[in-house]
Amino acid sequence: MAYGNIYPATYQPMYYPQAAMPQVTQPQPTPTQTPTPQQNQSSIVWVQGEAGAKSYLLAPNTTIPLWDSESQTIYLKSTDGSGMPTIKYIDYTIREANQKVPTNKIVDNEKISFATKDDIENLAEELADLKRRVDTISHRPTSPRRREATSNDE
């Protein structure tokens, strides 16, 4: 027994709109960019001695502290707009946590009194006056009494 078309000739297969619809492209999740491995960029730049600091190149308008690996010095190197470098030298000391900062080296400006220019000029005038007086005394002729006294001594 042969199985023929069981559907009538007028049958139209059911329309499946989903199949006919163009596939909506789903937004593909953008692959998350794996961060490039961060280089261990500590802020400390070590140089060997002053020569190392001098030869360390800087871009214009840049300031960078350069740590000397041979001594307790930091070279604060700066460049101006034209790239001209200048170096400031900072010497530091290392102390233990329980050690106190020596205070005797700290200068207390309030305890120091300064002389003004006027003070010095006044002092200079007084000195000049004193000098004049001494000069007049030394050039004054000696008195007769004094002359007698000196002759008796002889």
Partner 1 sequence: MMNNIMTMLQQFMQFKNNFKGNAQQQVQQMLNSGRITQDQYNAAVKQAQQFQQMFKNKI
Residue 58 interacting with partner 1 (CB under 8 A): yes
Q: Which DSSP helix (H) or strand (E) runs through 134?
A: helix 117-139
Give the shortest CB-83-to-partner 1 separation in angstroms. 5
List the x/- string, 10-39, binding to partner 1 by CB under 8 A.
Answer: -----------------------------x
Residue closer to partner 1, measured from CB, 43 or 103: 43
Binders in 89-118 for partner 1, by CB under 8 A: none
- CB-based contacts of 46, cutoff 8 Å, min separation 6: 66, 67, 68, 69
| Strand ordering across the sheet containing 85-91 | 45-47, 63-68, 73-79, 85-91
| Contact present, 44 and 56 (Cβ < 8 Å) | no
User: Which residues in 56-141 belong to E strands, given as ranges?
Assistant: 63-68, 73-79, 85-91
Binders in 34-53 for partner 1, by CB under 8 A: 39, 41, 45-46
> What's the rounded Cα separation, in Å, for the pair 134 and 138?
6
Quick one: which of 6, 24, 57, 115 contacts partner 1 (CB under 8 A)? 57
Residue 55 interacting with partner 1 (CB under 8 A): yes
Give the shortest CB-71-to-partner 1 separation in angstroms. 18
For β-strands 45-47 and 63-68, DSSP reports them as parallel
Residue 86 interacting with partner 1 (CB under 8 A): no
- Amino acid making up residue 16: Y
Residue closer to partner 1, measured from CB, 64 or 76: 64
Tokens of 39: 């280089």
Residue closer to partner 1, measured from CB, 83 or 148: 83
> Which residues are at the interface with partner 1 (CB under 8 A)?
39, 41, 45-46, 55-60, 62, 64, 83
